[in-house]
Amino acid sequence: MTSSFAAAAEAPPFNGARFCLAENARLRADKTALIMAGAGDDVRSLTFGEVDRAVRGIGAGLRALGLAPGARVMIRMGNEADYVLVYFGALAAGLVALPSSPQLTEPEAAFLMENAGASVVVVGAGHSIDPAGLGDRILLRSDDIAAMKTGPALPDYADTRAEDPATLVYTSGTTSRPKGVLHAHRAIRGRRPMHAHWLGLSEHDVMLHAGTMNWTYTLGVGITDPWACGATAVLYDGPRDPAIWPTLIARHRATLFAAVPSLYRQILKYADLGAVDLGTLRHGVTAGEALSPELLAAWTEATGKPLYEALGMSECSTYVSSGPTIPVRPGSPGKPQPGRRVAILPAEGPADPLPPGEVGLLAIHRSEPGLMLGYWNRPEEEAAVMRGAWFVGGDLASLDAEGYLTFHGRNDDLMNAFGYRVSPNEIEGVLIEHPGVAEVGVAEMAVRADLSVITAFVVPKPDVVMDADDIMAWCLDRLATYKCPREVRFLDALPRTANGKVQRKRLPSAQDRASSQDRASA
């Protein structure tokens, strides 16, 4: 993994949790830091003073376990306040927080635990981990965390350095298994260009985020950014109903709302926007999926509120956006935020930036403070994304003469499922184990002009009768829900190259088995 610990040896201490909480606890201890909104009138809140105390208590409890600096603490919890308290508690103690999705199956969670070499696994109510794979790892449950929050507290946050590892997040890669992305404490400070140029964020804001806590979009934009500015964060843990969000905006007087485009689309379809007062809302922000010009226009017309898009990745969060200082241009996520060094590189050859208008690989300079330290124990994949002074994540894009970016898709086959990057290899690896499946390919398929979904293209074994429900159930038992195909097509054969490689880009246009049978019988 790329790191500069030696070079940072003489650097002053910097701890991401201290950066977000210590000054707030000193200057505005009684201000509400976090609101957890549930169904109906169920509302729980914590002040900055309470968050600071709980985080330092959890930090002390973790440190008392005798963990070495940089030990990984895996979090397997639901959308609850303790999730974020444990996350920051790990950073406060000089450990590495490993957030994981509560949607992961036990085998998926076990892979993360083993691959990361986690020393501690924190399991919340309603979640589990296979005890057979724990080994000598320490298992903590909700009761243990509750005791730590009120127990002895760290007198101060750990004196980590800016380059020391802080978080390890897993994202789908080009192989069949997710890969770990290791971030330093400096990544939290590296988010500052977003505050002015995308979010328009200050201490006076109330940020309502529609995501769940395990997602880097939520942990970053929904919690870390508001706290870094002294603002209030609002999250929701009640029943998932797209019509609830305008009500929550009005009830909690949210000034900013963050979600993925698909949720904005659902709000327009299912919510009665005329029945609530959105007067406090200054604007919405969106990331994770491309924002279509049609959805942008529909939201603006229905609410009268701006909607600012951003483009980012697990390796660097968001670095291209529109916002208060960058005018919206429909069809473009915006410009590189001031201070970011972004370029378009040729797919092959020297890493020399291309001129405006040419399509190539979107790259960000390796001096970027928000950029990852590296991939966890994946040196070959890490080397593949480093080209000279640039990090290249695999997005195809172009920049026009004014600096606006146009996204042209992925240079590889990674898919986007509601903002999560998903590897087709991982889904194919699960489906090929189905006793009735002879061959399978997975790709995104457009179901509307502005919406594509993960689709499984299945070739059944001879004389095997299958249906889509069978495939769906198989996946739901073995994959997180967001990774599961939304559509299933049955084919007689997969489109392949002369060398036998499946051509995923041709899968959506392949003739399905029912159509070919109908044509043959006619």
**How confident is the model over 495-507, as pLDDT tens digits?**
986 556 788 889 9
Residues in the chain: 522
In angstroms, rounded to a whole number, what is the distance separating the alpha carbons of residues 37 and 42? 6
Q: Is the pLDDT of residue 8 over 50?
A: no
Q: Are 391 and 316 in contact (CB under 8 A)?
A: yes
pLDDT category, 50, cuts 50, 70, 90?
A: very high
In angstroms, rounded to a whole number, what is the distance separating the alpha carbons of residues 8 and 12? 8
Q: Is the pLDDT of residue 5 over 80?
A: no
In angstroms, rounded to a whole number, what is the distance separating the alpha carbons of residues 122 and 141? 6
pLDDT category, 412, cuts 50, 70, 90?
A: confident
Q: Which of 220-224, 314-318, 416-420 has the lowest mean pLDDT?
A: 416-420
Q: Could you read off the pLDDT of 446-491 as tens digits, one per residue?
A: 988 888 899 999 999 999 999 999 999 999 999 999 999 999 999 9
Give the DSSP per-residue string, 79-136. Answer: SSHHHHHHHHHHHHTT-EEEE--TT--HHHHHHHHHHHT-SEEEE-TT----GGGTTT
pLDDT at site 364: 97
Classify burial at 424, counting beta carbons within 10 Å of its beta carbon; exposed 0-12, middle 13-18, buried 19 or more: buried
Q: Is the pLDDT of residue 521 over 50?
A: no
Beta partners for residue 386, in sequence order:
391
Can you tell me the mean pLDDT for 41-60?
97
pLDDT category, 520, cuts 50, 70, 90?
A: very low
Select the more confidently predicted residue: 145 or 413. 145
In angstroms, rounded to a whole number, what is the distance separating the alpha carbons of residues 159 and 316? 24
pLDDT at site 13: 96
Q: Could you read off the pLDDT of 158-185 as tens digits, one per residue?
A: 999 999 999 999 987 655 689 999 999 9
What is the pTM (predicted TM-score) of this model? 0.85
In angstroms, rounded to a whole number, what is the distance separating the alpha carbons of residues 334 and 500? 40
pLDDT at site 511: 76
Select the more confidently predicted residue: 372 or 504. 372
Q: Is the pLDDT of residue 222 over 50?
A: yes
User: What's CA 483's distance to the chain center, in Å?
Assistant: 13
In angstroms, rounded to a whole number, what is the distance separating the alpha carbons of residues 278 and 264? 14
Q: Is the pLDDT of residue 295 over 50?
A: yes
Share of the chain above pLDDT 70, in %: 95
Can you tell me the mean pLDDT for 73-94?
97
At a CB cut-off of 8 Å and minimum separation 6, what does 346 contact? 352, 354, 360, 361
SS3 sequence of 26-91: HHCCCCEEEEEECCCCCEEEEEHHHHHHHHHHHHHHHHCCCCCCCCEEEEECCCCHHHHHHHHHHH
pLDDT at site 67: 97
Q: Which domains does the chain have, with CATH numbers?
A: 423-521 (3.30.300.30)
pLDDT at site 6: 39
Nearest CA to 181 out of 173, 193, 190 is that of: 173
Mapped onto helix, strand or coil, the DSSP state of residue 307 is strand
Alpha carbon dihedral 485, 489, 495, 501, in 10-degree steps, equals: 30
Mapped onto helix, strand or coil, the DSSP state of residue 469 is helix
Mean pLDDT over the full length of the chain: 92
pLDDT at site 420: 80
Can you tell me the mean pLDDT for 370-389?
96
Q: Is the pLDDT of residue 517 over 70?
A: no
Q: Is the pLDDT of residue 11 over 70?
A: yes
User: What's CA 154's distance to the chain center, in Å?
Assistant: 30
Q: Is the pLDDT of residue 360 over 90?
A: yes
In angstroms, rounded to a whole number, what is the distance separating the alpha carbons of residues 280 and 269? 22
pLDDT at site 183: 98
Q: Are 57 and 150 in contact (CB under 8 A)?
A: yes
pLDDT category, 1, cuts 50, 70, 90?
A: very low
Helices (H) and strands (E) in the chain, counts: 16, 26
pLDDT at site 66: 97
368: alpha, beta or left? (left if phi > 0; alpha if psi -120 to 50): beta
In angstroms, rounded to a whole number, what is the distance separating the alpha carbons of residues 106 and 26? 41
In angstroms, rounded to a whole number, what is the distance separating the alpha carbons of residues 175 and 173? 5
Q: Could you read off the pLDDT of 312-359 as tens digits, one per residue?
A: 999 998 999 999 999 999 999 999 999 999 999 998 889 999 999 999
